[in-house]
Structure formats: C-alpha cells, structure tokens
Amino acid sequence: MIELTDNKLALEQLIQSTPARIGVGCSGTRPKTEIMLKLRMDHAMAVDSVYGDIPKAFFEEFHFPIVQTPCQSKEMYLKRPDLGRKLTSEGESFIREHCKKKPQVQIVISNGLSSKAIESNIRDVYPALLDSLESYGLSSGTTFYVQNGRVACMDVIGEILEPDVLVMLIGERPGLVSADSMSAYMCYKPRIGTIESNRNVISNIHRGGTQPIEAGAQIGAVLRAMLDQKTSGTRLVI
C-alpha cells in the first residue's frame, strides 16, 4: 500500500491545479477502490446520457414540436451519422406546414449525443438567447426539437425554412467531467452542401464550463454579427 505524502498541502495544491485525476494513490500498482468506482460512475453517467431520453416533463414545460430523423434507434444513430443529417418525410412536411417561413433567426434543438445536455441547459440558455435577440432587435421563427439529429441536419432545415441564420443547440459527446455539455452551432443561410468551415460553434456549454446564460447572450451576438456581415464560419469577424 502506497501511503500518500505527509506533505498534504503540497499534494492538495497539485490536485487543485488540474481537473485530471491525480494524487489518487494506489494499492500495489492498482488504483484505490473509491477512485476506481468514481471513474466507473462518471463513465456510467456519460453512457446513460448517450442512451437515455429527454423526459416528457421537459416537453410539457417548453412545448417544442418534435421532429424525427430516420435514426429510429440509438445504435442506428451511432452507426449512421449520414441518417442523422436528414429528417423523415413526415418531419419535413411538419416543419414546412407548421413553422414560420424565412425567419430572421431559426432556433433548433436536438439531443444529439447527450439527452442530459438538453435537459440541463436549455432552461438557462434558451431564455438568455431570446433576451439577447430582443436586445439586438432580432426576431425568431418557430423553435422545434429534432430527435437523434446531427449538426448537418441544419442544412436540410435551412433548405426548407430558408432562415437568414440558424442556431442548433445540440448535446455533445459526453465526457467524464460533464455528461451534460451542449454546443451551439450557428450558420448564415444554411443550405444543403454547406461546408463545415461555414459554421461557427460555441461548445462546452454547461454549469462547469461555458456558463449557459452567457452562452445564450453570446449566441445572440454571433448571430447578429452574421446578419451584419452576411457571412459565417471562418470569414466571420467577431
């Protein structure tokens, strides 16, 4: 059994300097039980976030219409990113019929790789985003939710609704530090064939990362810059 240093303060300072799991000690060459279980638990949270679904209560609170991609199962979603970039034909007709056409700003929400990301962050990001749009004098269309979407389904939606700018709030691949991290992908006039370098992104949005309300406010600033400069991606000056 390796006893950790008597120099507790120094060890504490090393541990504080990084979120990496250091100063954990060992038994033989193997990690201590508690730290091993902590790792397993963090992984479990991440896995459950990938495979879990957003609870019904969330939709009762926000009333976002739900639109499907052809990915009917998580396995299909994980193996076929190409299908996550499309909407089902029902989905396409739904937004064509029920969503505002040619809005200045279109907001889309998708679980992506983390349902927890949406569940924990939308409550803060979304109203802060609406505030910033109002404060910049921008108007938005009909916000809706895409089940099992990929970032590039922005293009299909852009093609149908023709917004000036589109922001997609989507769950990121969960890490062990945060299983509920969300990204905001933004694009000026997204259409089928839009290349990745034409999108802008703010990632790592969660309590312990980019502050959700501040992210919401900044998304508004980025969208406004896109509208002013009529471009997005690497050419956008923020």
Partner 1 sequence: MNKKISILGKTYQFNSLKEIMAKANEEKSGDQLAKIAANDVSERIAAKYLLSETRLCDMRENPLLSPEEDEVTKLIESDLDESEYNKIKNWTLSELREYLLSREVDGETMLKVGRGLTSEMIAGVTKLMTNLDLIQAASKIRVITTCNASMGQNGVLAGRAQPNHPSDSLQGIRASLYEALSYGIGDAVIGINPVIDTSSSVKEILLMTKEVMNTWNIPTQNCVLAHVTTQMKAIQQGAPADLIFQSLAGTEKANDAFGINIELLDEANELIYKEGTATGPNRWYFETGQGSELSSESHHDIDQVTLEARCYGLARHYKPFMVNTVVGFIGPEYLYDSKQVTRAGLEDHFMAKLHGLPMGVDVCYTNHMKADQNDMDNLAVLLASAGVNFLIGVPMADDCMLNYQSTSYHDIATLRELLHLSPAPAFERWLEDIGLMENGKLTKRAGDPTFFLSQRGVH
Partner 2 sequence: MHETNEWITSLGIDLGTSTTKFIVSRLQISKVSSAFSLPSYKITKRLCTYKSQIYSTPLIDDETIDYTNIAKILEREYEEAGITLDDVHTGAVIITGETANKKNARIAVNQLAERAGDFVVATAGAELESLLAGKGSGAQDFSIQTPNQVVANIDIGGGTANTAFFLNGECIGTATLRIGGRLIRLNPAGFVKGMADSFKPWLEENGFLVKKGDQISFERIKQITDEMAKNLIGYLAQSSNDEHTQLLYIDPMPQSLPTVHTWMFSGGVGELMKNSERMTLEEGTRYGDIGPFLATSLNQLMKRSSFNVLSPKQTVRATVIGAGTQTTEISGSTVFIQNGNFPIRNVPVEKVHIQNEELESDQLDHIFSETIKKGLSLHSMGLDPAFALYLSGIDYCSYEKLKKIVNILENIYSQYLPNQKNIVIICQNDMAKALGHALSIRLNGKVNCLICIDQINIQHGDYIDIGQPLPSSIIPIIVKTLVFTSDA
Residues making up the annotated binding site for adenosylcob(III)alamin are 151, 172
Residue 238 interacting entry, from partner 1, partner 2, none, C-beta within 5 to 8 Å by type: partner 2
Half-sphere CA count of 153, side-chain side, radius 13 A = 32
How deeply is 212 buried, as exposed, middle or buried, from its count of CB atoms within 10 A (0-12, 13-18, 19+)?
Answer: buried
Alpha helix locations (H) across the chain? 8-16, 33-51, 56-62, 74-79, 81-84, 89-98, 115-135, 153-161, 212-229
Compute the least distance from the CB of residue 56 to partner 2, in Å: 21
Nearer to partner 1, 35 or 213 (CB): 35
Compute the least distance from the CB of residue 207 to partner 2, in Å: 5
Compute the least distance from the CB of residue 98 to partner 1, in Å: 31
Residues that bind partner 1 (CB under 8 A): 2-5, 7, 10-11, 14-15, 17-26, 28-31, 35, 39-40, 42-43, 46-47, 49-50, 78-82, 113, 173-177, 179
| CA–CA gap between residue 96 and residue 91 (Å, rounded) | 9
| CA–CA gap between residue 129 and residue 160 (Å, rounded) | 23
Nearer to partner 2, 5 or 72 (CB): 5
Annotated binding-site residues read 151, 172
Give the number of other Cβ atoms within 10 Å of residue 138's Cβ.
Answer: 18
Nearer to partner 2, 76 or 130 (CB): 130
Answer yes or no: are the C-beta atoms of 77 and 84 closer than 8 Å: yes
Residue 57 interacting entry, from partner 1, partner 2, none, C-beta within 5 to 8 Å by type: none
Amino acid (1-letter code) at residue 98 = H
Q: Which two tokens stand for residue 107?
A: 């907001």
Nearer to partner 1, 31 or 65 (CB): 31
For helices 115-135 and 212-229, give the axis angle rounded to 10 degrees. 50
Compute the least distance from the CB of residue 13 to partner 2, in Å: 6
Nearer to partner 2, 9 or 57 (CB): 9
Residue 203 interacting entry, from partner 1, partner 2, none, C-beta within 5 to 8 Å by type: partner 2
Residues that bind partner 2 (CB under 8 A): 9-10, 13-14, 123-124, 127-128, 131-132, 134-135, 183, 201-204, 207, 209-218, 220-221, 238
Compute the least distance from the CB of residue 16 to partner 1, in Å: 9
The total number of residues written for the chain in this structure: 238
